[in-house]
A and B are shown apart, each in its own frame.
Chain A
Amino acid sequence: MKKVTVPEQGLGEKVIRHATAIGVAMKESVYPLTATVFYPRERKKMPDNFRGYLMFDPDKCISCWECAFVCPANAIQMKVAPNKRYYPTVDYGKCIFCHFCVDSCSGGALKTTKIHDVAYKDMDEMLTLTEEMLEEPEIIREDKKSVEYVIDEHDLHLKRVREVDTLFVAVTPPVEIPMVSQCIDRASCIGCRVCEEVCESGAISSSTEQRGILRMKIDTDKCTGCGLCVKECSMRILRLVKK
């Protein structure tokens, strides 16, 4: 059996170790390397791509449901708005702030803020409706300074700047690639009209030809390229292509 023993140290080495400990203590008591941020009175300066509280711009939303599909925590639910479009709502009780929704948003409708202190009084309030995501939320700011973590060649230091960091960032929207839905195999269409029902912009219409055969038609001007019909088509004959 192998026995774990205390490493042998001579008297000199012990004295040196004690002296080192005391030296470090003296150094740190004068100039400590504390990395504590006194949070309500000062805030850490967050980068612009910080994954915080979400804001929403309905004008850019094409209601593609991509945010709801991609959400790993199932925090985003689409709710129907008065204009019959579907817009996301975020349940912050479930949200893990991964921001897959922001990354997947093709129109740049969802955008991030630097707000990380999201607090609610009860569970029901945590479900943030679309209307609440339109405007900047009310925040009680007590901070007078912002803190930056600076890593030099030796250690990490705090740099305190007497300025209030703005929490709302102007994100450049992603380059829009206009897409349009296209039927690639018209002969296989079974005429179930799922695409017509699912289309929120009314780009897909159907007309009955002779002998009762349905003919689907995609209006490329109205199509937003959301891809819902592509997802829902039971015959998998719809594709998104560049306009």
Chain B
Amino acid sequence: MIDINTVITGLGIAGNQVSIPIIQQMLDLLPEIPMIKLIISFILWKPFFAALICPGFTTLGILLLFFPWIERKLCGRIQWRVGPHEIVWWLGGIIQLLADSLRFLFQEVIVHKDAHRPYFLQFPFLTFIPALLPLMFIPAGNIVAIETPYAIQIILAVVCLFPLFILGLGWASNSRFAFIGTVREAFMYFAYEVPFIIAVLAMIVLYGTSDPVGIATKQTIWGIILNPIAALTFFIAAAMATSRMPFEIPEAEQELAAGPHVEYSGIAFGLIYVLCYEKAYVLAGLMTMLFLGGGSGPAIAGLGDLSGVIWFLLKVVIVLTTLFVLRAIYPRYRLDQGLSIGWSAMLSLSLIALALSIVLVLGGVI
């Protein structure tokens, strides 16, 4: 008979548990049932908890289910419309995306004659690599899947890889709308990438570290107050990166139908539809980490490590909602206007932010 505690200690997951005092008593009773303790300890093992529950798949899944609804509802209210309403109308159409995804599931995935069949079918799935990988490095409170001092650089690298997959989608579609959308995506990528990286660099210079947990502990004053210019640049770059409304240039509905993913249907379209929200979630997580103090906040009694998770999620939701509101109030820029904003205003803003960070560090503020 193998002793479970020996196994847990042997696997090295004993010391790194998420502590939740409120359910600790219940967990203490569980060793009576065989195997349950092993499973529970494994789930509560911090890296696994981060990957599986928060900020990983479970949180992402729930957010993806509700965020398109929240966005449509919010934009509807602002624009004096109603938004999704008829599905479960007494709850305001809250399961709209569930209904949509059912439709996506049962729709035929049409691969048209001119498409490059293998890539056309592969890319919707491959695009999940850059969309999901950054979640491994984003901390919720003190829970993070992979702890590394180079977390922010890795997140940046993977996020900047994202447009490459969109280009792949557009290329494999082999349609004129997808082609134009893809080229616009490439242009917008050039427009936001440099200011985006410099804005993040400014914050790394300010904190002197790129370790996510270290950054959270360094932010006694939030980054957005220390360096608001970097925050603004980051926010605009995030809006550009996720094709939010003022910069919805690649997938201009009125001109290009849906840009790079015009040819997709069925579940492939469903996957691409949520990709944009996944990217927004990752960028909102990064913004929370860099500018809003990560999971810092007054500790909620009885929740232990979960308190950080809740604060992190709250901040992410606020950032995401702000991103979504942009859709309701702004018209779309032209491609050349977007490029000029990227290369003039945003680039200078990011450089000013970098200078401000250097001044703050030399002045000994942080």
Contacts and interface: CB of A to CB of B under 8 A. Distances in A.
A29 B77 contact: yes
A110 B212 CA distance: 79
Q: Which of B74, B329, B330 has the most CB of A within 10 A?
A: B329
B89 A28 contact: no
A192 interface: no
Contact of A24 (B74, B82, B329): B329
A235 to B, nearest CB: 64
B74 A29 contact: yes
A22 B329 contact: yes
B80 A33 contact: yes
B288 to A, nearest CB: 20
Interface residues of A, number: 14
A168 interface: no
A177 B329 CA distance: 61
Contact of A36 (B81, B89, B329): B81
B111 interface: no
A36 B77 contact: no
Interface of B: 74, 77-82, 85, 89, 325, 328-330
Interface string A35-48: 11010010000000
Contact of A29 (B78, B81, B85): B78
Contacts of A34: 77, 80-82
Contacts of A25: 78, 325, 328-329
A28 B78 contact: yes
A25 B77 CA distance: 9
Nearest to B74: A29
A32 B85 contact: no
Contacts of A33: 80
Contacts of B329: 21-22, 24-25
A21 B85 contact: no
Nearest to A23: B329
Contacts of A26: 325
26 contacts: A21-B329, A21-B330, A22-B325, A22-B329, A24-B78, A24-B329, A25-B78, A25-B325, A25-B328, A25-B329, A26-B325, A28-B77, A28-B79, A28-B80, A29-B74, A29-B325, A32-B78, A32-B80, A33-B80, A34-B81, A34-B82, A35-B80, A38-B82, A38-B85, A38-B89, A41-B89
Interface of A: 21-22, 24-26, 28-29, 32-36, 38, 41
A40 to B, nearest CB: 10
A25 B74 CA distance: 9
A22 B82 CA distance: 19
Nearest to A34: B80
Nearest to B327: A25
Contacts of A29: 74, 77-78, 325
The 8 closest A-B pairs by CB, nearest first: A32-B77, A28-B78, A21-B329, A25-B329, A25-B78, A36-B82, A34-B80, A25-B325
Contacts of A38: 82, 85, 89
Nearest to A20: B329
Contacts of B89: 38, 41
A214 to B, nearest CB: 71
Contacts of A28: 77-80
A25 B328 CA distance: 8
A22 B89 CA distance: 29
Contacts of B81: 34, 36
Nearest to B85: A38
Contacts of B325: 22, 25-26, 29
A24 B89 CA distance: 27
A103 to B, nearest CB: 36
A77 to B, nearest CB: 40
Q: Which of A25, A29, A32 has the most CB of B within 10 A?
A: A25
B341 to A, nearest CB: 12
Contacts of B74: 29
A35 B85 CA distance: 15
A36 B84 CA distance: 13
A21 B330 CA distance: 8
A223 to B, nearest CB: 58
A171 to B, nearest CB: 35
Nearest to B328: A25
A2 to B, nearest CB: 22
A23 to B, nearest CB: 10
Nearest to A32: B77
Nearest to B77: A32
Nearest to B86: A38
Contacts of B80: 28, 32-35
B333 to A, nearest CB: 12
A32 B329 CA distance: 14
B85 to A, nearest CB: 7
Contacts of B82: 34, 36, 38
A35 B80 CA distance: 7
